[in-house]
A = this chain, B = another copy of it.
Amino acid sequence: MVVRTSSSPSAPAEAHTQALALLRETSPLTQCITNAVVTNFTANALLALGAAPAMCDIPGEAGMFARIAGGVLVNLGTPTAEQRDAAREAVSAGTPWVLDPVAVGALPVRTALAHEVLDARPAIIRGNASEILALAGAGSGGRGVDTTDAADDALDAARTLAVRTGGTVAVSGETDLIVDATRTARVPGGSALLTKVTGGGCALGAAMAAFAAVAEPFEAATAASAVWAVASERAASGARGPGSFAVAFLDELAAIEPADLRDRVELPR
């Protein structure tokens, strides 16, 4: 049975509203080792949200920076040799980190790296259903960044990964699915226009890294998904297309308040 979390204000689900308040107060330093396509949008999304992004992805610096960062994102979208080494450094720093295994399973270089860094136990893994299935050894990885599966198709795979890493796994879809070893949350809603802006999902992974600096992984992933759902719906309401939507989405990320996240997360009672 699913209940709206706002009906139980002391329940863990309210943790996601507190997480946003805390993120705004502390502006966590969020390191992103991410793909060349989305660095700009990701940094702007983090700034709008209230975090302090730093795209530090050079070997010899990335590990050191990860030790002072509050959260780290490792996104495998365009993994150059230097980024692969930087990722290896960063995931060893002991800071909560998010793995976004873009197109894992479909392409060999990133697939090998994804399995390698998995041993460093990401606090959160974020992907679409095809990527989560592939990372768990249960699918082919779709075609690049597209998914060919629905989020709930990846529920078992997500649970398997969550148990293996001791962390949280977030599956993006029409309804986002967030699981750890024992819990399952769902975040419905959000605008489909997000899929028409490059980096909509990649920046969500970065937001999870920012929230992971101020909350436990399960709450961090849930909070970020809820923010994305609310901000994308508001942005879509006045948008003329994907261009104006992306601009409005950044405006809405900056305007969103903790209270706006109420009623946006479904937890089983």
Contact = CB atoms under 8 A, between A and B. Distances in A.
Interface of A: 29, 35-41, 43-44, 47-48, 52-58, 60-61, 64-65, 68, 77-82, 103, 106-110, 143-146, 195-199, 239-244, 246-255
Nearest to A145: B54
Contact of A58 (B43, B79, B239, B252): B79
A29 B145 CA distance: 10
Contacts of A249: 243
Contacts of A247: 243-244, 246-247
Interface-central residue, A106, A242, A253, by most chain B CB under 10 Å: A242
Given A78-B57, A241-B250, A144 B108 contact: no
A167 to B, nearest CB: 25
A5 B145 CA distance: 38
B81 A47 contact: no
A37 B55 contact: yes
A29 B144 contact: yes
A254 B44 CA distance: 22
A198 B40 contact: yes
Given A58-B110, A65-B107, A242-B250, 12 more contacts: A40-B199, A47-B196, A52-B144, A55-B78, A56-B144, A58-B80, A61-B108, A241-B250, A244-B247, A244-B250, A244-B251, A247-B247
Given A39-B37, A54-B144, A196 B241 contact: no
Nearest to A77: B55
A251 B246 contact: no
B109 A61 contact: yes
